[in-house]
Structure 1
Amino acid sequence: MLGLTPSQTVGPFFSHALTWPDGPVVDEGPDSFWLRGTVFDGEGALVSDALIETWQPDGAGRFNHPGFRGYGRCGTDDHGRWAVRTVLPGVVPAPDGRPQAPHIAVSVFARGLLDRVVTRVYFADSTVEDPVLSALPADRRETLLARRSADGYEFDIRLRGERETVFFAV
């Protein structure tokens, strides 16, 4: 008799089967920096088999610009850490035409999730009033703000629980 199939909904294959060597490199220019973080589950445990995807405009707010991919993909390591090398994105318009603060869209795929969850990374030193960020309660906005680090920014993702990252229905 064969054993039972594991009850994982998505599987532990994202972090190693869907990545490629330069996937974490969105940009390597002189203005590039590391955006790093850790993924935590609802119990506060590290998620060592998640997949992080990022999408952003270049520094001038242009998507799909020659020489700029705008897309990054990185699996988490054994300590739940992920990192992409990128540049500060430019201001882009919201659907209503108002400017949005520089941000990076982030998708998280992980065990236990039936579908990806989507969030945004904002940078605390942005000066543009953002319609999405300002619509959130003040105590929830901080879950979307990256913190400065020695070589870029830190942005942890908490899938559930205390200080859960804000996720968006898309």
Structure 2
Amino acid sequence: MTDRAFTPSQTVGPFLHIGLRWVDGPDVVAEGTPGAIVISGQVFDGAGEPVTDALVETWQADPDGGFAHPDDPRGGAAYGGFRGFGRCETSADGGFAIRTLKPGRLPAPGGATEAPHVNVSVFARGLLDRVVTRVYFADEDNAADPVLSTVEPGRRDTLVARPVDGGYRFDIRLQGDGETVFFDV
């Protein structure tokens, strides 16, 4: 048996810009990809101030509901260059923007279907671990989604992106009024 030395807990920031850069950055698909959308927004702290040194990470299915992953042979191939994964550092105003394709519906246990959504992780100073949420789309039928239905009705809107020119707007509030719903994963 080997003795282990434990180190004290540390927050996940502020060195995100050094250690967590992703070579393709916020581009899940290349610029000019047919059907591409941009999911943009800002990350806010509990006082309503922009978080200028956060990192927003996304993972999602392609428009047919497949993942660009070796364990899912049906995913990504029909959308040349679709990676399913994006990472965007926040700007001086807490802003982020991910270029992607709108995901398709996913099969869920018991024959249910999950509404189109994007999985989102946020890394930021002051967090001991990432926080995880989802982005749903206001112009989709989200009513029967088995995950969204577990969220208190009055808070579901914190998970819904609104259409804007060229894509969708989704702000992330880490605490306080209108706090985004985060999931235990």
TM-score, L = length of structure 2: 0.83
Aligned residues: 164
Aligned to 1:41: 45
CA contact (8 A) 1:46 1:80 kept: yes
Report how far residue 138 of structure 1 moved: 1.6
Report how far residue 133 of structure 1 moved: 1.0
Mapped to 2, the partners of 1:53 and 1:160 lie a distance apart of 19
Q: Which runs of 5+ in 2 are unaligned?
A: 1-9, 69-75
Asked whether 1:144 is paired with 2:156, we answer no
Asked whether 1:86 is paired with 2:96, we answer no
Report how far residue 99 of structure 1 moved: 0.2
Q: Which of the residues 98, 101, 104 maps onto 2:112? A: 98
Q: Which amino acid aligns with 1:50?
A: A
Identity %: 59
Q: Which of the residues 150, 166, 169 maps onto 2:181? A: 166
Q: Which amino acid aligns with 2:15?
A: F
Mapped to 2, the partners of 1:97 and 1:57 lie a distance apart of 18
Report how far residue 16 of structure 1 moved: 5.0
Asked whether 1:53 is paired with 2:57, we answer yes
Asked whether 1:109 is paired with 2:123, we answer yes
SS across alignment from 2:182: coil
CA contact (8 A) 2:117 2:135 kept: yes
Report how far residue 23 of structure 1 moved: 1.4
Q: What RMSD, in angstroms, separates the aligned Cα atoms of the two structures?
A: 1.6
Aligned to 1:27: 29
- Following TM superposition, the consecutive aligned residue runs of length 4 or more in structure 1 with deviations greater than 6 angstroms are none
Name the CA shift for 1:16/1:36 in 2 (closer, same or farther; >3 Å): farther
Report how far residue 137 of structure 1 moved: 1.8
Name the CA shift for 1:16/1:80 in 2 (closer, same or farther; >3 Å): farther
TM-score, L = length of structure 1: 0.90
Name the CA shift for 1:150/1:16 in 2 (closer, same or farther; >3 Å): farther
Q: Which amino acid aligns with 1:30?
A: P
CA contact (8 A) 1:16 1:75 kept: no
CA contact (8 A) 2:11 2:129 kept: no
